[in-house]
Structure 1
Amino acid sequence: MDAMMPDSKALFFDRQEVRSAVEREAAIFHALPGLLRHALDNAPGMAAHLEGVEPDQVTSRSALSALPALDLDALLVLQAAEPPFGGLVATPIGRLARVLAGSRGQLVPEGARVDYWRFARAFFAAGVRRADLVWNALPHHLGALAAMAETGARALSCTVVPAGPGIDPPRMDAIRQMRPSVFVGDVPTLEALLDELGQAQPFRCALLVGDVPDPAFLVAASAIHAVETFYVYATEEIGLIAYETNAHEGLVVDESVIVELIAPGGDAPVADGDEGRIVVTAFNPDFPLVRLHTGDRARAILGESPCGRTNLRITPPSGAATAGGKG
């Protein structure tokens, strides 16, 4: 499910973004049995969780919905019982590029693939290109999200400033000297920077990770500071799940995950337009998480995005587990 890096003049990150729904579903459920078999053969914790599952029979959304889900608390319990990864990682630790830490103390493996967490797709949709200088204001000390954002920006050949959060004098001096064009971080940090910098702020666009921004802040960022904002929905275990495009009509689901919106108290999909719990399966051979409950909720948005991307769109998530401090 990996993608080639796009040409800087392309309208879309890759062809996957504009394929038909029928083609996308066929490709996803052709690949899913292989992911499940890989997890069963190489991740003993996931094999125990999926005991009795026959991968070759999981070729549809209804078959996927019959598999047991894994919640975030269970992941933490497994990691505590069998450190470091609870048997959920299919790659020996010596073959990983980095081990990151989540905000709840969970450990997250990162392999050596380019754009490992797929953030480049979100950057590209926000208009970020090779010449941009990216101010990465996410926490860096063992921080999973900061690493995820950096790998995405670097995949587009952007230069990254690993700034971390804060508005102390050294950071302000660095911004004024370097004039980065792209911000990535949470709303409080961006708001503080814009208040401090005023009309001298250099950012053209901002990718916001964490709690969903207040609409009033987005209006002010655009009207007063001329910063176009793009919300990115990611978690510390999955990486990119969905992202905002220049259409600003919901979030487009990433091409390397399967998102299910399921009813409270069960595994049945919700009716169109109803709010459901977000369950994600990630096509990550190192960390093959199958049906992870994110702890968030969202609604599906019917129809294709005006930007031309054809994947499922969802509303910005609500709940207790959005990335950016709560997991």
Structure 2
Amino acid sequence: MTEHYDALETRDTTAREAALMAALPGQVAHAKKSSAAFAEILKDVNPAAVSSRQALAGLPVIRKHELLERQQATRSAGGDVFGGFSAVGLGAHMPRIFSSPGPIYEPEGAARNYWRMSRAMFAAGFRPGELIHNCFSYHFVPAGSMMESGAHALGCTVFPGGTGQTEQQVQTMAELQPAGYIGTPSFLKIIVDKAAEMGVALPSVKKAMFGGEAFPPSLRDWFAERGITGYQCYATADLGSIAYETQARDGLVIDEGVIVEIVRPGTGDPVAPGEVGEVVVTTLNPDYPLIRFGTGDLSALLSGPCPTGRTNARIKGWMGRADQTTKIRGMFVHPGQVADIIRRFPEVARARLVVTGEMANDIMTLKVETACGGPDALAAKIGDAIRDVTKLRGQVELVLPGSLPNDGKVIEDARSYK
């Protein structure tokens, strides 16, 4: 049994980076030419110059709320439901359309393994010729189709279980004897508990690939005690597969079809290796060519290769949400405003806005890392910038470099709501 899905997973890191950067200008050019939204967003960009991560970091980040706003604007005008982001139209090149909360509409292209889920399934132990019980939803959201198309590309047969009907799920698993399960971990736990309650054995279900929610070690151990080995995948309805867990259980390996950056929340600025920030993805998908799409998820890059021999970079996994917009004294303050304040002071390395106090008595303190002298004068200038940007008064606390937690938080709401 082979250990890797294909040779791409174990190629030299320099060769991978060169291949990705060689493909990047073409993808940017394609997005600009074939997508009305990116034609506008990248109107002043020369695609040929976007051939490095440094150049990529100079492009704007497109966040989900901006995608939604563009979709709403074009829909209200009776135009493109995708807000101009799709590079293909209705018909043979777009077999399905899905909807996520918002609603945001996502196209599914016709390419085999369109969402690139096969690689994650292989890492979770699934192999050609096996039957997979797929309990992701098949309606509205793309999760069910994501997994089914990936399983078919891997050479597996799929039972489309979907969600709900727990007793029927148990009966079907007992009779069809699938090799494993794909869906949320919480629903498989419900199925396993129901099977025990019904006195029905599910001996064939030995492996699982989970997504859509957290998979803590306690739940991983609970499944292991029942003979089921589960692994996580990280995917979104906009991008498909982004990263996946391996037998090493040491972070998530980035998929071969995307370029991942970790940026400071509220900005497009890449953070230092190991620092927590927002996951920003550029996909090489020609049908839906999202360039620097902000997922809104927090994570961090891990150092070194995966112990399984896969050589792509790894992320730590889901570490929370990057959108930390907070209402303070009746005004919304968001991470981008904190970034605007800090950009004015090159002597400041990092900052964290901490909101304390009780309801109707908010205290706003901006903690900034700096090694410079003259703290009183610097603090006063930063205080003026806080008032200028947020229209609120705030305190300033200067701390030594490295003092702030590495958790990706730019705004911390520490108020008492009792």
User: Where does residue 4 of structure 1 map in the other structure?
Assistant: none
Alignment match of 1:68 (pick from 60, 67, 70): 60
Q: Mapping of 1:161-172 within 5 angstroms?
A: 161-172=159-170
Contact residue 40 and residue 50 of structure 1 kept, 8 A: yes
Alpha-carbon displacement from aligned partner over 1:13-32 (angstroms, at most 9, x marks no partner): 11111111111111001011
Alignment match of 1:193 (pick from 191, 194, 214): 191
Report the Cα distance in structure 2 between the residues aligned to 1:65 and 1:282, rounded to whole angstroms.
Answer: 14
Report the Cα distance in structure 2 between the residues aligned to 1:263 and 1:70, rounded to whole angstroms.
Answer: 14
User: Where does residue 177 of structure 1 map in the other structure?
Assistant: 175
Report the Cα distance in structure 2 between the residues aligned to 1:214 and 1:233, rounded to whole angstroms.
Answer: 14
Alignment match of 1:86 (pick from 58, 83, 103): 83
User: Where does residue 6 of structure 1 map in the other structure?
Assistant: none
Pick which of 34-43 and 101-110 moved more: 101-110
Q: Mapping of 1:258-273 within 5 angstroms?
A: 258-273=259-274
C-alpha displacement at 1:147, in angstroms?
Answer: 0.7
Structure with more relative contact order (C-alpha pairs < 8 Å, separation 6 or more): 1
Q: Mapping of 1:295-306 within 5 angstroms?
A: 295-306=296-307
Alpha-carbon displacement from aligned partner over 1:59-95 (angstroms, at most 9, x marks no partner): 1111000000100011111111113111101112223
Residue identity matched to 2:65? D
Contact residue 117 and residue 147 of structure 2 kept, 8 A: yes
Report the Cα distance in structure 2 between the residues aligned to 1:146 and 1:303, rounded to whole angstroms.
Answer: 33
User: Where does residue 310 of structure 1 map in the other structure?
Assistant: 311
CA gap 1:320/1:268 in 2 versus in 1, 3 angstroms: closer
1:153 partner SS: helix
Alignment match of 2:217 (pick from 215, 218, 229): 215
| TM-score normalised according to structure 2 size | 0.72
C-alpha displacement at 1:167, in angstroms?
Answer: 4.3
2:140 partner SS: coil
User: Where does residue 205 of structure 2 map in the other structure?
Assistant: 203
1:319 partner SS: coil
Alpha-carbon displacement from aligned partner over 1:144-192 (angstroms, at most 9, x marks no partner): 1111111000111111011112243222211111121111111210110
Contact residue 246 and residue 307 of structure 1 kept, 8 A: yes
Report the Cα distance in structure 1 between the residues aligned to 2:38 and 2:233, rounded to whole angstroms.
Answer: 28
1:243 partner SS: strand
User: Where does residue 230 of structure 1 map in the other structure?
Assistant: 231
Point out the structure with max Rg over C-alpha. Answer: 2
Contact residue 166 and residue 194 of structure 2 kept, 8 A: no
Contact residue 183 and residue 206 of structure 1 kept, 8 A: yes
User: Where does residue 383 of structure 2 map in the other structure?
Assistant: none
Report the Cα distance in structure 2 between the residues aligned to 1:271 and 1:148, rounded to whole angstroms.
Answer: 33
Report the Cα distance in structure 2 between the residues aligned to 1:243 and 1:150, rounded to whole angstroms.
Answer: 17
Contact residue 281 and residue 294 of structure 2 kept, 8 A: yes
Contact residue 258 and residue 283 of structure 2 kept, 8 A: yes
RMSD (CA atoms): 1.4
Report the Cα distance in structure 1 between the residues aligned to 2:165 and 2:205, rounded to whole angstroms.
Answer: 15
Alpha-carbon displacement from aligned partner over 1:31-76 (angstroms, at most 9, x marks no partner): 1111111111111112112221110000111100000010001111
Q: What 5-or-longer segments of structure 1 have no aligned partner?
A: 1-8, 322-327
C-alpha displacement at 1:107, in angstroms?
Answer: 1.1
User: Where does residue 254 of structure 1 map in the other structure?
Assistant: 255
Report % sequence identity: 38
Alignment match of 2:15 (pick from 23, 27, 31): 23
Pick which of 169-178 and 185-194 moved more: 169-178
C-alpha displacement at 1:102, in angstroms?
Answer: 2.1
Residue identity matched to 2:149? T
User: Where does residue 160 of structure 1 map in the other structure?
Assistant: 158
Alignment match of 1:151 (pick from 149, 152, 170): 149
C-alpha displacement at 1:228, in angstroms?
Answer: 0.8
Contact residue 167 and residue 193 of structure 1 kept, 8 A: no
Contact residue 166 and residue 190 of structure 2 kept, 8 A: no
Report the Cα distance in structure 1 between the residues aligned to 2:23 and 2:272, rounded to whole angstroms.
Answer: 26
1:317 partner SS: coil
Residue identity matched to 1:216? S
1:272 partner SS: coil
1:259 partner SS: strand
Report the Cα distance in structure 2 between the residues aligned to 1:254 and 1:150, rounded to whole angstroms.
Answer: 18
Contact residue 212 and residue 316 of structure 1 kept, 8 A: no
